[in-house]
Structure 1
Amino acid sequence: MKDKFEKLSNVGKNAKEFVEKSKGTLVKTVDQNNDGKFDIKDVSVIAGNVKDIVQKNAQTIKETVDTKVSEMELKVLQPVFLETFNSQDFFVPKFIKISGRDKRYAENDSCKKSIGYLSNPKGIRLLNIFRDSVEASELSFYPDYGGEFYYMDPSDSKKYIVLEEYFNYLKQVRINELQMVAQDLGAKHFRVTYMEENRSFLGKKATKGVDLHKVINTELNQSSIEKKYVTAEIAAEMEFLGHAPKMPKLQYMKYDPSINGLIEMRMKEYPLVHQKFMLKLSNTSGLKESEALRIDATLKSMKVGSNMTILKEAQNESKRYLEYEIDF
């Protein structure tokens, strides 16, 4: 019994010491002003610390939310900044719109330094450049940047032509280039004639009592397409004294097989005296009918009023030719 009593006494003593130590540890833990006791002042300090933690967490949450909102805005607005525009990884679209700085970009802190933005109306990639940032882009625009819609020059990715003048402009610069080719090759005479193609079907006429559908289905394969060219104008003609040829520097006709063949024969001093061939304008225009269709759809979706359709112009371009005649 004595042993049991001593063991119980030791347990009680140990428990008391544990409580005293725990009490001291607790006091040290909650004693915020280091005065050796836990009182109302310590409660105030703890409350202040909790407030600071809550405020810091709230600030962190706000910053995180602001960052997410900003990222979402950038994805929606798709601003283009000068450093992005000038990077090698940025692909400048062929189709450009020039307009005033939109309110969404002027008043948004994330977009204030942008020079424009990207959009994708009707499946065509469009670069919208703010008029106050055109010079910073270092792109050139013909005749100036006072217009609205422009398309890339097929021979110069830094140059854009106002949409209304696109095909007329390219017609003239290609005529000028053909003149330069004649001069460099030492021609004595050259003429460029602008022509348009008029197509008509030649086939047998359907007779009375014959199934018209059957006639069409059988005769179309036998019919031929007659091509007639209407001379619109002599676009350029000149005579020279003639001289030894030098290699022309081509820009718009760089990949035309007829022009390259002419240059090759002349530079190799073949006995070339006279050459005449037709150059189809749509082969070097750079704006195909499929692209013109998307542009028209885009302009319509933007409710842009215009008397011309780009598709119609592209279709007409496929019927236009330059007849090139040169004498040495």
Structure 2
Amino acid sequence: MADNKNGVKKFGEQFSKLLSKTKENVSKLVDQNDDGNFDSKDVSLVFNRLKDTAKNTYDTVKTNLDQNQQDRDLKNLRPIFESTLSDTDFFVSKLVRITTIDKKHAESKVCQNAIGHIDTYGGLEVINVYRDKAKYFGLTFFPNNDAELYYVDPTDHERYIELDNYFSQLKNERISELERIAFDLGAKHFKVLYKEQTISSSNVNVNHKSKLNIHKSGANSDIDINVSTDKFCSVEIAAQSDFIGHKPQEPVLRYLKHEPHILNLIELRMNEAPITHKKMEIKLIESSGIKTNDAVKIDAAIKAMRFESRTSIVAEVNQESQRSFEYEIDF
């Protein structure tokens, strides 16, 4: 019995101390100006502190939201800055578009001072160069930068050729290179014929099932339809010249540096018993800068950009495969 009384007494003392400490803490909490009293001044101070806390919380949340939005804009809008050009993982795409900044990029905070941006169409990355900022990229645009779409020169990754005239320009560049090769090798005469085949149809046998009334019966019959092939070949003299001739020197090659016929010609001419005459056929598709796989992606990108009435690059590549040079040279 005595133990119970002592226990109750001890609990009472501890509870009293707890109340006293809680009261003291509450007093400190509400007595903001430390004057020993809780009054309207303390209420005002508590209110102001709560208001400041709320404002700081709002500012923090707003800052985080703004930062998240900017992170999303950087990911989606993909702006290019002058400093971006020196990044080790930045490369200018093969297909380049020269344009003006669009509305969504112009209005975004993260795109301020941008010189371009990156778009991706079906896996093909396209660099958009803002026309008034083109100088920062250090690229050359042929014949000028007044057009919109350009593709990289296969021999110079800093030179871009207008896409609409890409194949015709490469044709002219290779003709000029053949002339330089003839001169460097000491030729007395050379001629380049430009040949282009146009296929109007295919020579195929088509097995066609059709319901024909043969011998007045309604039986099904198999018939073979022969479709004739017509190939029209246009030939023009692309270049020819006469020289006085000289001791051969090995030419520097650009577009034709992987062309076996040209490499063989140079080897034979630089030999101790040099060749005096050579005639060869050079397929243009072998030294073209755009292959079929590239062309498919380019056409898809052009369609996504919503260009109208633009020649199919796939069709151009297919036609390029039907073009060749006949190169004849005398020493």
TM-score bucket of the superposed structures, by smaller chain = 0.7 to 0.9
Flag structure 2 segments of 5+ consecutive residues without an equivalent: 206-213, 215-220
CA distance change for structure 1 residues 25 and 101 in 2, over 3 Å: closer, same or farther?
A: closer
Q: Name which of 261, 266, 269 aligns with 2:269.
A: 266
Show the counterpart of 1:287.
290
Q: Percent of aligned positions with the same letter in both sequences?
A: 40
Show the counterpart of 1:230.
234
CA distance change for structure 1 residues 138 and 234 in 2, over 3 Å: closer, same or farther?
A: same
Q: Distance in 2 between matches of 1:190 and 1:157?
A: 31
Show the counterpart of 1:313.
316
Asked if the contact 1:99/1:148 (under 8 Å) is kept, the reply is yes
TM-score by length of 2: 0.82
Show the counterpart of 2:124.
124
**Offset, 1:275:** 1.3
How many residues of Structure 1 are paired with residues of Structure 2 in the alignment? 317
Show the counterpart of 2:78.
78
Show the counterpart of 2:243.
240
Asked if the contact 2:97/2:126 (under 8 Å) is kept, the reply is yes
Q: Distance in 2 between matches of 1:85 and 1:242?
A: 47
**Offset, 1:58:** 0.8
Show the counterpart of 1:41.
41
Q: Distance in 2 between matches of 1:13 and 1:313?
A: 99
Alignment of 1:78-227 (within 5 A): 78-197=78-197, 212-213=223-224
The code of the aligned residue for 2:251 comes to P
Secondary structure of the 1:311 match is: helix
Task: Spell out, residue by residue over 1:49-100, the C-alpha distance to the aligned partner (whole angstroms, 9 max, x if none).
Answer: 2211111111111111111112222333222222223323113221122122
Q: Distance in 1 between matches of 2:23 and 2:198?
A: 107
**Offset, 1:263:** 1.7
CA distance change for structure 1 residues 10 and 237 in 2, over 3 Å: closer, same or farther?
A: closer
Secondary structure of the 2:253 match is: coil
Q: Distance in 2 between matches of 1:4 and 1:130?
A: 90
CA distance change for structure 1 residues 188 and 19 in 2, over 3 Å: closer, same or farther?
A: same
**Offset, 1:27:** 2.7
Task: Spell out, residue by residue over 1:232-273, the C-alpha distance to the aligned partner (whole angstroms, 9 max, x if none).
Answer: x21111222222222211111121111122222223334311
CA distance change for structure 1 residues 22 and 187 in 2, over 3 Å: closer, same or farther?
A: same
Q: Distance in 2 between matches of 1:227 and 1:51?
A: 86
Flag structure 1 segments of 5+ consecutive residues without an equivalent: none
RMSD of aligned Cα (Å) = 3.3
Task: Spell out, residue by residue over 1:284-327, the C-alpha distance to the aligned partner (whole angstroms, 9 max, x if none).
Answer: 11112343344334434444233633332222211111111122
Q: Distance in 1 between matches of 2:5 and 2:88?
A: 90
**Offset, 1:145:** 0.5
Q: Distance in 1 between matches of 2:39 and 2:77?
A: 57
The code of the aligned residue for 1:156 comes to D
CA distance change for structure 1 residues 86 and 212 in 2, over 3 Å: closer, same or farther?
A: farther
| 1:275 lines up with 2:266 in the alignment | no
